Amino acid sequence: MTEIGLPRSTTSRAVTLIVALVVLVIAAALWGISVGAVAIPVDVIVNTLFNLDGEQQTYIIIKSRLPRMVLALLAGGALALSGAIIQAVIRNPLASPNIIGINSGAALFALGMVLVFPAIPVAWMPLAACIGGLLAASFVMLVAHYRNLSAVHLALIGVAVGFVFQAGVDYLLITSSDSESSAPMIWLTGSLWGRTWGHVAISWIPLLALSAVALLLSYRLDLIALGEGTATGLGLNVPRQRLILLFVATMLASVAVAVVGVMGFIGLMAPHIARRLVGGSHRLMLPVSALVGMLLVVLADSIGRAIAPPIEISAGILAALIGAPFFVYIMLTTASET
């Protein structure tokens, strides 16, 4: 620990910040459980959560809002971690899961499955999305790895591949008159509507495991951040580490996108907000990113349910709507570090 230790004041400030963020995330999640199309008093929520005597609302609390909250936490954290890793590896502040084609790859496969192969049950959509995201990102990563391309070239190839998949998405959207069947459209904006414990069951193990791996690998990001030459000089096999890190980031984002849909904002902005809060050291920045991502998605989902019940506004839309002004505020009020 001591070899890359941080100044004590930075660490204690960061610990305070992390504790504050954890409290905020928990508060937001509890608030999220209490809002929605049906108003439920706090005592009923407590009765239901702890199975006490008195009135309970089992379905709404336990089967509707709770799995959504769990998914929002898992996916928000995963998307933010993925974004932070990709920004560090590609060494580009504009990078996000989107830049290596994950979002458009996932979107094309999900839409394609529903519109081109309507016979396949919609329940398979998350799997199709995951495969699409992995396929697009794997192509980018493998090409960059085997041709030994620099981070900038990797990003450019990622953008190009993303455009190809996005063209496919646009083609499907324009040629389809199916604005009526909603599943793919709602999914494209990133939403937790209709998510159940079934979605949690298929995604919590990979998301938690990958998040743990991401946090364990954070010190390697600090080395890569020094620049390819320096990192190699310090004994790091940069191309190999880059491939491993990008693979972890891709898996995180693909699984998250598969269960909650496309939420482009989280992966791009949460790491920036985190960097502004605790600086560039990834050992702190990664967990803070994850917490910021969780907070954003939980708030976005809760506000989306509270704002105009019984109609829900997609969390992806609200995440951008509330996150962007906050991001600008943070950019303007903190000292420039990057």
Partner 1 sequence: MSIKSLVAALAGAMLLIAPALAVEITHDLGTTEVPDAPQRIVVLEYSFVDTLAAVGVSPVGIADDEKRDSIVPIYTNIIGDDWTSVGTRKSPSLEVIASLQPDLIIADTSRHEAIYGALSEIAPTISFDSLTGTYEVAIEAARTIAHAIGKDAEMEARLAEHTATMEGFKAQIGDVTGWSAQFIVDNGEGIFLHSPVSYNGSLLAWFGFTSNMPSPDGHTYEEAIVNTSLEQLSEIDPQIIIRGKYTDPGLTDSWVGQPLYDSVAAVKSGNVYDVNAHEWSRLRGVLASEVSGANLVDIVKQLKQ
Residues that bind partner 1 in the complex, under the rule CB under 8 A: 36-38, 57, 59-60, 63-65, 115, 118, 121-123, 125, 176-178, 180-183, 186, 193-196, 198, 305, 309-312
- CB nearer partner 1, residue 197 or residue 247: 197
Minimum Å gap between C-beta 108 and partner 1 is: 18
Minimum Å gap between C-beta 300 and partner 1 is: 16
- CB nearer partner 1, residue 92 or residue 176: 176
DSSP states of 58-122 as a string? HIIIIIIIHHHHHHHHHHHHHHHHHHHHHHHHHT-TT--GGGGTHHHHHHHHHHHHHHH-TTS-G
Q: Give first-to-last CA distance, the chain, whole Å.
A: 25
Minimum Å gap between C-beta 113 and partner 1 is: 12
With a CB cutoff of 8 Å and minimum separation 6, the contacts of 250 are 82, 97, 100, 102, 133, 134, 137, 138, 141
Question: Are 253 and 266 within 8 A, CB to CB?
Answer: no
Phi first, then psi: give them for residue 308, nearest 5 degrees.
-145, 60
- CB nearer partner 1, residue 57 or residue 232: 57
- CB nearer partner 1, residue 36 or residue 316: 36
- CB nearer partner 1, residue 75 or residue 137: 75
With a CB cutoff of 8 Å and minimum separation 6, the contacts of 103 are 97, 133, 162, 253, 257, 262, 264
CB atoms within 10 A of CB 33: 23
Question: Are 293 and 116 within 8 A, CB to CB?
Answer: no
Minimum Å gap between C-beta 319 and partner 1 is: 18
- CB nearer partner 1, residue 75 or residue 113: 113
Minimum Å gap between C-beta 181 and partner 1 is: 5
- CB nearer partner 1, residue 114 or residue 210: 114
- CB nearer partner 1, residue 51 or residue 177: 177
With a CB cutoff of 8 Å and minimum separation 6, the contacts of 33 are 45, 49, 61, 65, 66, 69
Question: Are 256 and 98 within 8 A, CB to CB?
Answer: no
H or E element at residue 217: none
Minimum Å gap between C-beta 174 and partner 1 is: 10
User: Helix, strand or coil for residue 263?
Assistant: coil
Minimum Å gap between C-beta 89 and partner 1 is: 35
Minimum Å gap between C-beta 256 and partner 1 is: 18
